[in-house]
Amino acid sequence: MSKENHTDTRVLILDIAIPLFAEQGFSGVSMRNIANKVGISAAALYHHYPDKQSLYLAAMERAFADKAEGITAAARQSGPIEDRLYAYVKSFTKLMANDPNFRTLFQRELLDGDESRLQLLADKVFGEAFKAMTELASELDPDGDPHLLAISMAGLVLFHFETEPVRRFLPGGLKKHSNLKVVTEHVYNLLAHMLIKKT
């Protein structure tokens, strides 16, 4: 197999594995099931990924890689703090709104609570983006706890989408509340009102 075909097969495996893991969780998907969906033998799958954990981590990295770059770049761009905060909120909101597979994978991991996988995700998948978020948080609130602020900033966006199935039925719930621009403006205004005046 040529290097190009090898790479193409690895990418195909990941593109098929991501929605399977999102739908069924880590425990609900077998290597054989993924191999069947890809159209290769289990032995060929193990040639590319030696075990399910390494395949799962690669799938999470692929699902998050381009988004992590966008979030990191937004948080670290030059310019006024207001512009950087807005760019970060917009980037993170876009990630949550446009990639339900990633959102579901992330929620499943939190619910499963497998410490070894969570540690791998923290180190290998989310680490650099979260570091950029804490750097931004430090500038927004120099006297505060940057870790807690970064978590709260992400949580404002995350919880909005996690509660979407029930939120629309609550009093005052409107269709526009799921609009990417509306969510971005709301979260940005909330954070800017609380934080930017302090800097």
Give pLDDT, residue 3: 46
Q: Amino acid letter at 88?
A: Y
Give pLDDT, residue 5: 58
- Token code pair at residue 109: 């991991």
Domains and CATH numbers, the chain: 3-198 (1.10.357.10)
Query: By the 8 A CB rule, do 154 and 71 touch?
Result: no
For the entire predicted model, the pTM comes to 0.81
Q: Amino acid letter at 61?
A: E
DSSP secondary structure letter of residue 39 = T
Question: What are the backbone dihedrals phi and psi of residue 185, each rounded to the nearest 5 degrees, phi first?
Answer: -65, -40
Residues 103-142: pLDDT tens digits? 888 888 888 888 988 888 888 888 889 999 999 999 999 9
What does the pLDDT average to over 64-87? Answer: 88
